[in-house]
Amino acid sequence: MSEKTVVLVGTLDTKGAEYQYMRDRLALAGVKTILVDVGTLEPPLAKPDISRHDVAAVAGVDLDALTAERDRGRAVSEMADAAAVVVRKLYDEGRCDGVLAAGGSGNTAIATKAMRALPVGVPKVMVSTMAAGDTRDYIGASDITLMASVTDVAGINSISGRILANAAAAVAGMVNAPPVELGEQRPLVAATMFGVTTPSVTAAREELERRGYEVLTFHATGTGGRAMEALVEAGFVTAVLDITTTELCDELVGGVLSAGPHRLEMAGKMGVPQVVSVGALDMVNFGARETVPPKFESRNLYIHNPSVTLMRTTPEESAELGRQIAHKLSAARGPVAFFIPLRGVSAISGEGGPFYDPAADQALFDALRKNMAGNVEMHEIDAHINDPEFARAMAARLDEFVVARR
């Protein structure tokens, strides 16, 4: 087995001893290292293999000017962009089998951006003082392993020494693990699901599996949508079954489960076949009932459970969602089919349900019909989104798209 290389990304103006310690621990495990300095303010406290000047140069950053400004926020931002380019280049050259870093908020922001530039499956370990808080900005849609530093990353002591040694051992084990053998590889389909669309996605998944596909299901909680689109961008996915597009509601109205403004765009950009529907476009997500913003007190609210409160989208919001979806899908470079279930878009929006609102559904459907370009097939089925026949029709059309490409 060839010797593996772990890239260490660190602000060596403050973290010299810590990075030298991790480097020594990796050497004990038989792992080579490349130490990348992303500090800016003070001289490095350890000798790097790739200097901060070389890192800055790849992004056209004048490091001397950046250092003279003493603007920590700008320094972190610019060095994060540059570090991502450097680490990705090392990976493309076959010189990066994994990444390890340790630090506070600044080094965490820089190193995790570099980690996110690597494909899913490449080992990434971040020891951070920020591990106990909201880590979405650091993790994104990647598979970063975030380890709490317990104490500040400030020197080697009886606690930090153990933590950093464990982190080095973890990444050494990852890079030296035997290759994963998964047997016969079936075409991979990414599907989106919510609790209120589970019957639909389950029926579609079973039909696709019967036809020879492997289906990855992503919970449409913001993180799920971003993770799915990241895998599409990385080339893992053969086709997308985007039944549950609810994250668009949270982005539009201000709910807590937004996947960002570019949700529903990556499959089209990459030319990946996709079948899309309106799953859970009847709802915006909030936390416990008391967390709903006061401006929404007069809206149709439904307590899904003690930690989740749902708010029904209005006809005006539904029409805007329809316009946004049509705009995004009309720009797709690959085959697209859009399926409309005329009898309800979620488990609670059918006739008699708490979110039953024919005017809102009609506004959504009319906007889709009016704004969708000719490259998108439109299928309207007189069924509820969770009816098995609706789900199987979507699965069958996706299969036809994939077969035609073969």
Do 169 and 284 reside in the same domain of the chain? no
**What confidence tens digit (pLDDT) does each residue in 112-136 have?**
999 999 988 899 999 999 887 778 7
Do 192 and 331 reside in the same domain of the chain? yes
**What confidence tens digit (pLDDT) does each residue in 267-277 have?**
999 999 999 99
Confidence label for 45 from pLDDT (cuts 50, 70 and 90) = confident
Domain annotation covers residue 182:
no
Do 113 and 195 reside in the same domain of the chain? no
Residue 115 and residue 405: Cα distance in Å, rounded? Answer: 33
Do 159 and 291 reside in the same domain of the chain? no
CB 236, CB 270: distance < 8 Å: no
Give the CATH number of the domain where residue 351 resides.
3.40.50.12030
If one counts the domains in the chain, the total is 2
Domain annotation covers residue 181:
no
Do 160 and 238 reside in the same domain of the chain? no
**pLDDT at residue 183 greater than cutoff 70:** no
- How confident is the prediction for the chain on average, in pLDDT? 93
Domain annotation covers residue 183:
no
Domain boundary among 176, 198, 225: 176
Confidence label for 61 from pLDDT (cuts 50, 70 and 90) = confident
Do 172 and 214 reside in the same domain of the chain? no
Do 146 and 248 reside in the same domain of the chain? no
Do 115 and 200 reside in the same domain of the chain? no
Domain annotation covers residue 97:
yes
Task: Specify the pTM.
Answer: 0.76
Do 283 and 229 reside in the same domain of the chain? yes
Residue 18 and residue 194: Cα distance in Å, rounded? Answer: 43
Give the CATH number of the domain where residue 15 resides.
3.40.50.12020
Domain annotation covers residue 145:
yes
Domain annotation covers residue 280:
yes
Residue 318 and residue 334: Cα distance in Å, rounded? Answer: 26
Q: Which helix (H) or strand (E) is 107 found in, with range?
A: helix 105-116
CB 307, CB 243: distance < 8 Å: no
Domain annotation covers residue 293:
yes
**pLDDT at residue 105 greater than cutoff 90:** no
Do 205 and 348 reside in the same domain of the chain? yes
Domain boundary among 176, 202, 235: 176
Domain boundary among 141, 176, 211: 176
**What confidence tens digit (pLDDT) does each residue in 130-178 have?**
887 778 777 877 889 999 888 878 788 888 899 999 999 999 999 999 9
**What confidence tens digit (pLDDT) does each residue in 275-322 have?**
999 999 999 999 999 999 999 999 999 999 999 999 999 999 999 999
Residue 125 and residue 307: Cα distance in Å, rounded? Answer: 31
**pLDDT at residue 1 greater than cutoff 60:** no
Domain annotation covers residue 385:
yes
Do 286 and 159 reside in the same domain of the chain? no
Task: Give residue 341's domain range.
Answer: 188-405
CB 344, CB 384: distance < 8 Å: yes
Do 275 and 204 reside in the same domain of the chain? yes
